[in-house]
Structure 1
């Protein structure tokens, strides 16, 4: 179960207990293992810490998990207490730029970004290796040919099924002059190795963007996992 795009009225003092009870009720109803909290931007407000700490206490008392999607671009909004309450922290190591930033074209999820993100949450925020997962993107963003051109997004599935050999690189020049940035198979392999060393594994956003057949991007990550088991 996920909590995202939330109207934060549910996090306020007079609403929080009831909201948490409703979440627990849904988890029981559908026999779910827990909840993933994906609150971003202004939704990470002054009520966030209380909401997370209180919900973690309630869920743990009922043998349920609580995880979160976090990113360095919201780093100053997360308190240490809130982060420590999670069972797993899924690091969104992508979207450093995107169609919402047409003035900042370029790669949005490099290997260097992944290294920096794991270092920040592991070393500066003291999150244990076993509680971190590294998020990898199964999509790309395209820009150009001018800054005034509308940027686009494209799933890994569409990229590799439209452009032969695109799975082996991290950028591709489209026929209309746009330059598409994404993670090819070698970069996913490299990030998976990094995650096996510095975290507990990877988180994929999202599986529906994966290709089918020999080009599916999850193959290198599962192959690496099988070697580790």
Structure 2
């Protein structure tokens, strides 16, 4: 009898479906190839990333993304030659894949380089299939894990007004999905900078650029670059627009905005700590935030940790703009994000 009972219990255990483990929070970090990213790539702790987005690539006038040994249109960091060597893409992919990190190439950027082809024209009914095919070929030839669409503001609006953004993302998503590849995007959360609702189903992750709440010519005087209030609002906007929690990724900045005597200076997190000392890692402002004052507004470690906790509760994880602006060691923002996301 006992043997029979034990056998029955064993059979039930084998037949019972496994309990799904909670998905690991994503940590998506942008690597900007328009500046010297190589030192960062050598020292960054890849175990704390799930994805790297290489930024940026754009098509040339013919819709090509690669031209021989160079990208067809990019702002590569290469003295005497602005185009990024294709070998750089392969090197980033190889290093990331050794650590199980997925790599995507990001299209566009906040400002398109002069070499870029006309995205509106290249996504017309006559040319869209060729542009999509070139992107798929790009992804396959470089062993990428997907494509990130970071077409922003004016160019995003122009493409959408022409009725071409949703068609483009639908076709690109379909072709990438056939190959098991990802399609993601970056978006603002204000009118004029938001991806259209019709494109939401096409993306695996929607990265919210929850920063730049104030800048050289916009935002309230004395406002914050990336407040907790802004993060909460941006997540709420995209949930209300129908984006599932599993697709939303909260963007966090590794840089600040400077005003007064700090305007136009290097105000990324690394330079802030170099200039003002390690105590700056635990604040969000240098100076006094007020109209006409000289100040820098940024997100230090406590706020960054709080954003990670918010992201863990309400989204799929975090996105970082961008990785070269961090520091190594106990003041690292990447470490703060990772530890908070994983309750450490």
TM-score (norm 2): 0.61
CA contact (8 A) 1:80 1:125 kept: yes
Is 1:136 matched up with 2:275? no
Which residue in the other structure is 2:319 paired with? 203
Q: What SS class does the counterpart of residue 342 from structure 2 fall into?
A: helix
Unaligned stretches of 5+ residues in structure 2: 1-104
C-alpha displacement at 1:105, in angstroms?
4.8
Partner Cα distance (2:193, 2:300) in 1: 31
Is 1:182 matched up with 2:298? yes
Partner Cα distance (1:77, 1:14) in 2: 26
Count of matched residue pairs: 222
CA contact (8 A) 2:214 2:220 kept: no
Partner Cα distance (1:167, 1:222) in 2: 16
Give the direction of change, closer, same or farther, for the CA distance of 1:84–1:98 in structure 2 (3 Å limit).
Answer: same
Which residue in the other structure is 1:117 paired with? 234
Partner Cα distance (1:226, 1:201) in 2: 10
Give the direction of change, closer, same or farther, for the CA distance of 1:77–1:173 in structure 2 (3 Å limit).
Answer: closer
Partner Cα distance (1:77, 1:225) in 2: 26
Give a deviation string over 1:122-170, Cα, whole Å, max 9, x none: 1x1111111111000000011126xxx9554511011112212111110
2:283 pairs with one of 147, 159, 169: 169
Which residue in the other structure is 1:37 paired with? 149
More helix by proportion, 1 or 2? 1
Is 1:11 matched up with 2:117? no
Partner Cα distance (1:161, 1:76) in 2: 33
Which residue in the other structure is 2:273 paired with? 160
Q: What SS class does the counterpart of residue 220 from structure 1 fall into?
A: helix
2:330 pairs with one of 181, 201, 214: 214
Partner Cα distance (2:190, 2:223) in 1: 17
TM-align CA RMSD: 2.1
Partner Cα distance (1:40, 1:153) in 2: 23
C-alpha displacement at 1:224, in angstroms?
2.2
Is 1:21 matched up with 2:125? no
CA contact (8 A) 1:161 1:211 kept: no
TM-score (norm 1): 0.89
